[in-house]
A and B are shown apart, each in its own frame.
Chain A
Amino acid sequence: MRETRLWSWHLLVIPIIIVLLGAHFAVMHYAPVFYGVSVEEARNFETMIERGKSVAQLVLYVLLLAAALYHGLYGLRGIIRELPMSPALGKIVDTSIIGLGLFIFAFGTYVTWWTFSFKIGG
């Protein structure tokens, strides 16, 4: 793929991250306002599971995971690929980072889905 598209996405996800991370902070730090529980209670397992059952939560965290992973791993690739290396090694780095990104995304999505579908008490 053209580097321009990869770089453009790297920049385009920044506002997405800002909005979604803002929503995440709002959920965590304004729990008394949104959920009627204290900030400490918002971190409890039961509260988290209850919160995770919302479709909006599911979408928010999967999108945030995708955007933050892409932004972070593109930056990491830039740092690593700047080291002196052969084109072949560069391709290995690219492939490894794509693999790492897909693995973390799959794992994060699984955890989010698990929380969404968790049945309290059995």
Chain B
Amino acid sequence: MSDKTTTPREITFRVRRFDPNVDAAPHWSEYRLNVYDGMTVLEALHEIKAQQEPTLSWRSSCRMGVCGSCGMFINELPMLACQTQVLHLGTDVVSIAPLPNYDNVKDLVPDLAPLIEKHAAVKPYIIYLDQIEIDEPTGEFLQTPDQREEFSQFTHCIKCGLCLAACPTVATDPLFLGPQALAQAYRYTADNRDCGLKDRIEAIDIFHGPYQCHLAGACSQACPKGVDPAFGIQLLKRALVLDSIGFGKKKSSVAKVSPLADVVKQIEEFAPPPRTVGK
């Protein structure tokens, strides 16, 4: 929330506008706004919409960097509008455009369909040996902290699409699966409950797959959740190479179903030590 106790500073917002029903090409519009310390770009857009330009369009929801809806190209960098404070940008003129590498639906709204399609193509879910167990579980899968750590950071992906907007390879090769989908492919492949690499190979072990990554690392720099998808792509390459020479994940290493009673017993074994104070 904006801190209105400090002196406001006038900032000029250059916003790229485009209405496919009216405009032949995108154009820039300028809006001046008094910005307070702490005001985010998203809050500024709300102020502009309320006071100056009611037709301005963008996509947003949670306002706290969780939903990943408000990705925009702010001062030439892909960022979440809700996480970016205007005065932290340090410029008197702030440019806001829709995310690059996506089609533009209207104003600041990108068409995220390619992101979703690529994400879905890599089968981003656990594929287990026994489908009956998945459909009608009889117990739980155990996972040690170390096993979880192998892919933990990649579970933080909020599908905001900033990584694809930052990726120079996506800019030249729209068919490249991109950092988001490839990091998710690794996230599920590395999961000890999963044995679905064979099912994913058709989608990921292709020319437009991990080997097209140019190692620019722009995706990792852009990620608002601190995920390192560029690293995920390298880990996926390793998993694919090991699999191709017969050293991939063995069936014996895939998590086994533990009956609930055993799980409770194991949880008790890992119970915290007895209290020594405040008895």
Contact = CB atoms under 8 A, between A and B. Distances in A.
Interface of A: 2-5, 7-8, 78, 81-84, 90
Contact of B205 (A3, A81, A82, A83): A3
Contacts of B211: 3-4, 7, 78
A21 B175 CA distance: 36
Nearest to B169: A82
Contacts, number: 35
A48 B172 CA distance: 46
B264 interface: no
Given A2-B205, A3-B205, A82 B172 contact: yes
Contacts of B172: 82-84
Query: What 3 A-B pairs are tightest by C-beta distance, nearest first?
Result: A4-B240, A4-B244, A7-B211
B207 interface: yes
Interface in B152-181: 169, 172-174
A73 to B, nearest CB: 14
Contacts of B201: 2
A90 B173 contact: no
Nearest to B173: A82
Interface residues of B, number: 17
Interface of B: 169, 172-174, 201, 205-207, 209, 211-212, 237, 240-241, 243-245
Interface of A, helix, strand, loop or mixed by DSSP? helix
Given A82-B172, A82-B173, A3 B207 contact: yes
B241 A8 contact: yes
Contacts of A5: 244
B255 to A, nearest CB: 25
B240 A90 contact: no
Contact of A84 (B173, B237, B243): B173
Nearest to A77: B207
A82 B172 CA distance: 7
Nearest to B172: A82
Nearest to B244: A4
A2 B241 CA distance: 10
